Amino acid sequence: MNIILLGPPGAGKGTQAGKLVSKHGMVQLSTGDMLRAARSSGTEMGKRVAAVMDRGELVTDDIVIGLIGEALDEAAASGGVIFDGFPRTLAQADALGDLLAGRGQGLDAVVELRVDDEALVERITGRYSCGDCGAVYHDRTKPTQVDGVCDVCGSTNLQRRADDSEESLRQRLMEYYKKTSPLVGYYHAKGNLRVVDGLASMEAVEAGIEAALAR
Ligand code: AMP
């Protein structure tokens, strides 16, 4: 099963992708995570995209399409792929269709996590995560039990994303509405779109996604 989680920054794509990975043995392909990894390992490409990412703009289509092409080859033996944060433009959506078709595969569903903007600003600006195990926290709704210590693995390496400032988030939202939200219509027209209320509790969103996938 190959699925896309679609939605603006902070809609919960990464969190829900993590749940699908543990339940269904799928592979999560997050272009945001791949780009951050390229930055922290200091590759040429990582250096080129750093400033663009910090401003909250999209990196060029050819970079992310290249990353996804390589990752799809590595994921070939998995139980399916969850695309998280990709595609973000119509050109990327077309390229993904071609990449899958070239491997004799297709998309099974595109799940849109629908949320409103004010909720997103609040969600994102309070967000932090464990740099070691990836557990996600929030200043107001889900702080760590002990200040500065990850509940899951005990690490003190808690991090905030450089692009989770309010200014960068506004830019990311603008990019979403200008370039990514047309994909809602695109996949609707293709008959793949399923909409889930992304503002419900984490458990309700998870159940909504499972129901959407079972349809
Ligand atoms: P994310 O973790 O998905 O919020 O992505 C963080 C940042 O990485 C975005 O704000 C973009 O600068 C860049 N990025 C991630 N995925 C893509 C993509 N599919 N196309 C273009 N830029 C991307």
Distance (Å, whole) CA 122 – CA 196: 20
pTM of the predicted model as reported, rounded to 2 decimal places: 0.88
The pLDDT assigned to 25 comes to 87
Tell me the pLDDT tens digit for each residue of 136-169.
Answer: 899 998 999 999 999 999 999 999 988 878 888 8
Q: Which atom of ligand 1 is nearest to the CA of 57?
A: 12
Q: What is the pLDDT of residue 119?
A: 84
Query: How far is 145 from 141, CA to CA, in rounded Å?
Result: 12
Q: In what order do the strands lie in the sheet with 27-30?
A: 27-30, 81-84, 2-6, 109-114, 193-197
Choose one of 40, 49, 54, 59 to mutate for the ligand 1 pocket test, by most ligand atoms within 8 angstroms of C-beta. 59
Round to whole Å and give the CA distance between 49 and 57.
10
Q: Is 31 in the pocket of ligand 1 (CB under 6 A)?
A: yes
Q: How sure is the predictor about 188, in pLDDT bands with cuts at 50, 70 and 90?
A: very high
Residues 125-134: tens digit of each pLDDT: 888 999 999 8
Percent of the chain at pLDDT > 90 equals 76
Q: What is the pLDDT of residues 64-107, one digit of tens each?
A: 999 999 999 888 777 799 999 999 999 999 999 999 999 999 99
Instruction: Please report, for residues 64, 182, 183, the alpha-carbon distance to residue 120 in angstroms, rounded to integers and kept in the order given.
Output: 24, 19, 19
Model pLDDT for residues 36-59, shown as the tens digit of each residue: 999 999 999 999 999 999 889 999
pLDDT of residue 36: 94
Positions marked catalytic: 13, 88, 127, 161, 172
